[in-house]
Amino acid sequence: MVDILEKMFSGIGSGLLTILSGIGTLIKSLFIGVFSILDGILGGDENSPECVPQTEIVEHYVEMHRDSAQQEFHEQMLSMTLQKSGVNFNKLRPEMDSAISVVVSVYHTAMNDDEYKPLITSANDYEGHSERSAHYVGAALDFRIKDMGSLETRKQIAQMVRDNLGNRYTVLHEDIGQENEHLHVQLRNGTYNRNAEWD
């Protein structure tokens, strides 16, 4: 009889633990979902004071590979730009190839020259970005803009890129009037999985 009671209570205990564990997992998932939604709505530039830190609780990276069409488009987009020495496109996401396409088109319009090649000054290659910079996960690129006419023209170019890329991207005109003046283009925080690593 004692054996039967021990087994019964043991079964109830493990069942209760399973239920409590399931409830804990559900609550954790709900919190992650709420923070991800808030990050997508409120998130801004990685350096912006309004930026809500991205909340992701994923323990492992997922390796992603371009299919042949994506690889062909990637190579075509890079061929339509110039790259500063040392720029590393390691981990660049396919969505950033689409961003390159828009930047190239805007620069062509601004320069009235369909052969003009914008210069990419940084991808995943510079250690001076902030710790959780989108650059390090292939979700940001910098384009030189300092030689694109007057300040007013450069501001208009930045706005054109912003308008054409839409809400999924953040576009910043940074270091205005300095040697390193550039357009920072990145996927908006909360719209991509930082743990998906593209080759």
Residue 18, Cβ neighbours under 10 Å: how many? Answer: 10
- Percentage of the chain with pLDDT > 90? 51
Give me the pLDDT at residue 37, please: 39
More confident residue, 57 or 94: 94
Q: Is residue 185 part of a domain?
A: yes
Name the residue with tokens 């991808």.
Answer: 123
Residue 141 CA, distance from chain mean position = 10
pLDDT at residue 131, rounded to an integer: 64
Residue owning tokens 């075509």: 76
For residues 32 and 74, membership in a common domain is answered with no
**53 in any annotated domain:** no
* Residues ≥6 apart with Cβ < 8 Å to 72: none
Note the pLDDT tens digit of each residue in 111-165.
999 999 999 999 987 666 666 678 888 899 999 999 999 999 999 999 999 999 9
Token couple for 8: 């019964």
Per residue in 61-70, pLDDT (tens digit) is: 789 999 999 9
What residue type is assigned to position 12 of the chain?
A: I
Both 112 and 23 in one domain: the answer is no
Average pLDDT over residues 103-118: 96
Q: What is the pLDDT of residue 1?
A: 52
Q: What is the mean predicted confidence (pLDDT) over 57-64? A: 69
CATH code (residue 90): 3.30.1380
3-state secondary structure of 115: coil
Same domain, 71 and 153: yes
Per-residue tokens: 16: 């209760």
CB-based contact 129:176 (threshold 8 Å): no
Are residues 188 and 126 located together in one domain of the fold?
Answer: yes
Say what the pLDDT of residue 90 is.
85
How many CB atoms are located within 10 Å of the residue 181 CB? 18
Q: Cα–Cα distance between 100 and 81 in angstroms, integer?
A: 8
Asked whether residue 76 is assigned to any structural domain, the reply reads: yes
Residues 92 and 186 grouped into a single domain: yes
67 and 131 inside one domain: yes
Q: What is the domain extent for residue 2? A: 1-42
| Residue 194 or residue 6, greater confidence | 194
In the predicted model, what is the mean pLDDT of the chain? 78
Shared-domain flag, residues 34 and 92: no
Same domain as 81, residue 169: yes
Domain count, the chain: 2
CA pair distance 92, 161, nearest whole angstrom = 19
